[in-house]
Every structure is written in structure tokens, then in C-alpha cells.
Structure 1
Amino acid sequence: MAAEVTEANLSKVDSAIDDAPASPSESKPRHRRTSSTVSGVFNILDLGKSVNGKLTVTSEKEGVDLKIAPETQKLNWKLNTSPSTVDDKEVLSKLLTTPPIKKIDLQFPLGLEVTARNLKGVTIKDALDAIHKQFKKKADDELDKPYLAGFEWDREECYTRFIVHQKATGEAPASSGKKKKGKKDEEA
């Protein structure tokens, strides 16, 4: 009788007795939490067409066209300064591409490549943050072309990468059209 009681007690406490399946193949597939995925945001690899393991796009119908936000060409942003220094702060929250994507590689002309990521869709700020991370320790005189001119997408060369264009000088901030009154204007 004591042996029966001991077995019953052990089965309740024994960690070796488990309802888990014996092998991983018998277990149920685990699903990603829905809070970490957003509907309507794509992986760029899913937008193109894969042929023989390589992502290629041979015609307009097979791959989705990405449209880069035109605001990126008007930012007048210096690569080694924080993205928060951009004049128009509202632009930073806009999506970098249409349709929204989870990540994009940004390639510079000399071969440097950075990746901007955001599971809710890469924004202009995400792209600027990725670029700034590489250039924040560079002095102004170390950069030949310190200003962002915009991004280019060449679907034939590489579907999953944007080319970063730079320029040597930034434009002067656009005036609001109102003339400020100086002391001479006030006296007259």
C-alpha cells in the first residue's frame, strides 16, 4: 500500500513525466505573435519573383513596383548630423516606400551598405537613422559629399537595394515669401 501511494505522489511531482511529444516533429508548429506583424507591410523578398533561388524580376507583372517617397530628395540633411535636425519633422514619420516594407538595404557608391528596418514599415527616419549610425563620428571635412540627395531604386540591378545619392552642398532653406522688416524699414 505504501508503494502505491509513493507512485501516485511521484507522478504529480516528477519532472520526467510530461505531456510534451517525444520528438520535435510531433509538436505543433508555433506561430509568430500577431502583435509583431502588421498587415499590409511586406518583406521585400516576397514582392519580387524568385527564379532558381535568385530574386529576379523580368517584367512589370511579376514584381511589385516600389515607389520611394519624393520628400527624401528635399530633406537637405547632412549625413553626420542627427535626423532630428531635419527642418520638416513631419516628413520623418512618412513611409519610405509604397507599398511599405519591413527592411531595405541602402548602398553607397563606394560600396558601404546599411540596412533600415521597421516591422511596421520602414519610415524616412528609419533610413536616416541607419545612415547616421555610420557617419555620426565623421568630421565634416572627411565627407566629400555630406548631404543626402535622395534614393534610387534600380529593379534590374538589385531588387532589394536602394542606391543612396549624395551631394556636395545643401540648398539654402526656402524663404517663406515674407520679407523681414529691418531697422531701416521700420523708420521709414
Structure 2
Amino acid sequence: MSAPLTKVDSAIAGLSLSDEKPSATTETTATEVKKKPKRNSSVADNVWSIKDLEEQKIEITLPIETQKTGWKLNTSPNSIEDKDILKLQLINPPVKKIDLHFPLGLEVTARNSKGVTIKDALDAIYKQFKKKADDELDKPYLAGFEWDKEECWTRLIVHQKSSAGIPQSNDKKSKKKKKEEA
């Protein structure tokens, strides 16, 4: 029992079983290993930081389509009928992230390294309101976004309304009316 045990393994075959440390020439230090830079392939061209836009005083514009969604804040953005609206950039020029400010003080951030789209903004809002019941929301529908450079250059104000503003085609009555008109 006093004989030393030895392992037979193809992974360590040919190595000595001594307690010696490897020499300094074979050991790599953290300073010798060069870190590779992060990938830039996921970053789109012409996408700004909102802070850069503020520094350079570049005016931003909002698409009018955000006011035509008729979207309820506690429902999924995928429930919007016109899916093409969701693919549009939220602001022009596109930004990586932007804060969305509600009048009562809630603030959410929409992010996308390729430029924040309307869907990204609606997803960020939906994440905050998805567990709220309909009767908990005073104004449950999105009226649109507003950019007020006098108040704050780096965020959008979210406006809400109490009715959808556009007719919902899911009602049986509206489908019957459309058939009768045709």
C-alpha cells in the first residue's frame, strides 16, 4: 500500500507526475494575451446615441403612424393589425436607445442596437403594463409620442387616451356591416 499510485490516461501520457510548476516560458500571463475587440457586425450604420444628437443639436422627427395604432397598453404589440407599422423606426435619425416618459412619472427605455423601432417602444411599454387589468388603467390606449426639445432632448413623452380611436375589426357587428355594405 505504500507504493505511489499512478494514472494511465492518454491525456496525461508522457507528463511527469512531479509537483514542479511549469516554467515561466510556457506560462502565459494576462498581459500577454491580447483581448479581441468586440464585434461590430451587430451595430448598424447611421445609428446614433441620443446624447450625440443632443450635443450636435440634431432635430429628430417622429412618424405619424404611431398615432394610428389604436393599441391598448396591456395587450401584446403583436395584436396590432397593421404589422408594417411595427417595423418603422421610432425616430429619425435612428437611435440605439431612448427613454419614454409617461405624464404620471413612469419612465421606460426602449433599446435596439440597430435603431429603436416602434415595436421596440411598444414592447418596453407592454412589459410595464401587461399585468394591469383594464379597469386599473385610466387611459389604456396609446395616443402617440411627442418630442419636446425644450423640456428634455433625450426622451419622448407618451400620450394616452381613453378610447381606441380606430374601429376594431374583431367585432361581429362591424364584420356584418361590412358584408351588408358590399
TM-score with structure 1 length normalisation?
0.74
Structure 1 residue ranges, 4+ long, deviating more than 3 angstroms after superposition = 9-14, 27-32, 179-182
State which of 109, 121, 124 in structure 1 corresponds to 2:103.
109
Q: How far apart in 2 are the matches of 1:19 and 1:139?
A: 54
State which of 162, 167, 170 in structure 1 corresponds to 2:164.
170
Quickly say closer, same or farther: Cα 1:67–1:19, change in 2 above 3 A. closer
State which of 39, 47, 54 in structure 2 corresponds to 1:41.
47
State which of 132, 136, 140 in structure 1 corresponds to 2:130.
136
Matched, 1:96 2:90: yes
Q: Which 5+ residue runs of structure 1 have no aligned equivalent?
A: 1-8, 22-26, 50-61
Q: Greater strand percent: which structure?
A: 1
Q: How far apart in 1 are the matches of 2:43 and 2:63?
A: 23
Residue of structure 1 in register with 2:31 after alignment: 20
Q: How far apart in 1 are the matches of 2:77 and 2:178?
A: 29
Q: How far apart in 1 are the matches of 2:43 and 2:178?
A: 50
Q: How far apart in 2 are the matches of 1:129 and 1:12?
A: 53
Q: 1:172: Cα distance to partner? A: 3.6
Which letter maps to 2:71?
W
Q: Which has the larger radius of gyration?
A: 2
Q: 1:99: Cα distance to partner? A: 0.5
State which of 128, 146, 161 in structure 1 corresponds to 2:155.
161
The answer as to whether partners of 2:74 and 2:130 remain within 8 angstroms in 1 is yes
Tell me the matched-pair count: 155
Q: 1:11: Cα distance to partner? A: 3.9
Q: How far apart in 1 are the matches of 2:148 and 2:70?
A: 23
Quickly say closer, same or farther: Cα 1:144–1:180, change in 2 above 3 A. closer
Q: Which 5+ residue runs of structure 2 have no aligned equivalent?
A: 1-20, 170-176
